[in-house]
Structure 1
Amino acid sequence: MRSHITTAALALAAMLATPALARTGEDAGQLQIKLLGSAVLPDGKIDQVNLDLVGLPSTIRTKANDNVVPTIAVEYFLTPALSVETICCVTQHDVDATAGVPGAELVSDAKLIPATLTLKYHLNAGGISPYVGAGPALFLFIDEKPGAAAVALGADRTTLSNELGLALQAGIDVPINDSWLAVSLDAKRYFIATTARWYAGSTKVIETEHTLDPWVLSAGLALRF
């Protein structure tokens, strides 16, 4: 029985692999669209306190919460081995204290647009395409608000600075038919920080530097045209 199962599994693998082997990067389309689910896993720790007019505990530590969001990636192939890719998503995060005043919400519902452009190198191995990439990333924050703990201290406005950083990327596209539909797995690590500022009226009362450095782990489907 075990030998029959093994034979059947090998036959199925061969059937799935045959279409991928029949088409290579040379005859593929130049545009690929990916529909992904992405887990955004930021750090958010305080690196430095630049201004503190409210008396924050010296032991304060912070963390930004994780989030899962839909993501669209658009990729253009310059050659069979080289492509450029950009992504589109909006992710929402709070920043909470983990020490000093554990559980205190400092930033509420900050929406982040991680504008990213990467240059990718693909190793086309019989249709299966592992890749690595790197490129600039601009983090744009919108609609950030002071958290409940910050409001209790008198803050009525919060800003997070937009910043330019670096993204490193690795992943794999695995064809599942001969029409260039593929399963895509992708991991990005960003290296980027932000400056957080809290205001009471027109007076800046707190300013802190935060490391973000999120992982963005994605999985979904890709279609190449």
Structure 2
Amino acid sequence: MKFRNAALSAAFAAKLVTFAPSVAAQEAGDVQVRAFVTGVLPDGEITDVVVDTIGVPVGTQTEASDSVVPTIAAEYFIANNFSIETICCVTPHDVNGTGAIAGVELIDNAIILPATVTAKYHFDLGGIKPYVGAGPAYFFIFSENVGSGAPALGINDVDLSDEFGVALQAGVDFDLNDNGLMLSLDAKRYFIGTTATFSDNNGILLQTEHDLDPWVLSAGLGIRF
């Protein structure tokens, strides 16, 4: 009886293998393109006050607004399970006061282009492929406008500096078929700051250093070919 049960189990397992879809490995020369819905969750906290001629109140702090945008990630496998990835997106953010100036809009609609390149290692677990990565980033920040609350402080111009930083990354791809279609979940944490310069017609009124350090969380579909 034990022999018969073992034989039946072996036959059933063979059937499962026969009908299971084949899953392509990630090999040198492969290209992956993924389309995401992405949440960008920055900090925006003041870490240092460089210039203050307007006497901002003690306890003044700031925060940057979150943003949800479409993004594209493209990567090339330079070796089996090892790829280089870049992303394409822009994200709009406001900067608002907290603490002593809670609710005051200081910066309106700053646009960030997060130029990022990461080196990624993929773990091949069959239909599930987790990965980790890291790489340099450069934030181009443009189109920032004076917020609605800034003129009350005498401010009529604002600038956020472009900066270098580092991104750490982790995620997972779930193969949906044997033709390279996948469901992807991705998380990045950037370590990067900016300098905010608030001015009037006569020069700098306030200059502050800020941590941006955003979490960037994405979910979407991809294709490997």
The verdict on a shared fold, with TM-score over 0.5 as the criterion, is: yes
For structure 1, which segment, 206-215 or 147-156, has the greater mean C-alpha deviation from structure 2 after superposition? Answer: 147-156
After superposition, what is the alpha-carbon deviation per residue over 1:27-46, rounded to whole angstroms, capped at 9, x for unaligned?
Answer: x8611111001000000000
Moved over 4 A (4+): none
Secondary structure of the residue aligned to 1:78 is strand
Number of residue-to-residue matches in the alignment: 209
- What is aligned with 2:31? 31
Distance (Å, rounded) in 2 between the aligned partners of 1:33 and 1:58: 48
Q: Say if 2:175 and 2:183, in contact at 8 Å, map to a contact too.
A: yes
Counterpart residue number, 1:154:
154
CA contact (8 A) 1:33 1:223 kept: yes
Equivalent position to 1:18, from 2, 8, 20: 20
CA drift at 1:22: 3.9
Root-mean-square deviation over aligned CA pairs: 1.6
Instruction: Give the gaps of 5 or more residues in structure 2.
Output: 1-15
Task: Please give the TM-score of this superposition, normalised by the length of structure 1.
Answer: 0.89
Cα deviations across residues 38-97 of structure 1 (Å, max 9, x unaligned)?
A: 000000000111111112112101110111000000101111210000000000001101
Q: Distance in 2 between matches of 1:209 and 1:24?
A: 45
Residue in 2 that maps onto 1:3 = none
Q: Output one character per residue of 1:129-163: Cα deviation in whole Å (capped at 9) or x when no partner.
A: 10000000001101001111112222111100000
Instruction: Give distance in 2, aligned partners of 1:22 and 1:117.
Output: 27
What is the CA distance between 1:25 and its match in structure 2? Answer: 2.4
Aligned to 2:3: none
Match of 1:138 in 2: 138
1:54 equivalent in structure 2? 54
Q: Which amino acid counterpart does residue 38 of structure 2 have in structure 1? A: S
Contact 2:180–2:223 under 8 Å retained in 1: yes
Q: Map 1:92-103 to 2 at 5 A.
A: 92-103=92-103
CA separation in 2, counterparts of 1:39 and 1:193?
19
Question: Whole-Å Cα distance in 2 between the matches of residues 131 and 203 of structure 1?
Answer: 48
Pick closer, same or farther for the CA change 1:18–1:104 going to 2, 3 Å.
same
SS in 1 for 2:20: helix
d(CA) in 1 for partners of 2:90 and 2:24? 35
Change beyond 3 A, Cα 1:22–1:59: closer
Which has more radius of gyration?
Answer: 2
Structure 1: how far apart are the matches of 2:85 and 2:104? 38
Within 1, Cα distance between the matches of 2:53 and 2:23? 67
In percent, how many aligned pairs have the same letter?
52
How far residue 210 of structure 1 moved from its aligned partner, in angstroms, is 0.3
What TM-score, normalized by structure 2, do the two folds share? 0.89
AA of the residue aligned to 1:99: G
Once residues 61 and 157 of structure 2 are traced to their aligned partners in structure 1, the CA distance between those partners, rounded to angstroms, is 21
User: Which ranges in structure 1 are unaligned for 5 or more consecutive residues?
Assistant: 1-13
Q: Which whole-Å CA distance do the structure 2 matches of 1:162 and 1:120 have between them? A: 25
Secondary structure class of the residue paired with 2:49: strand
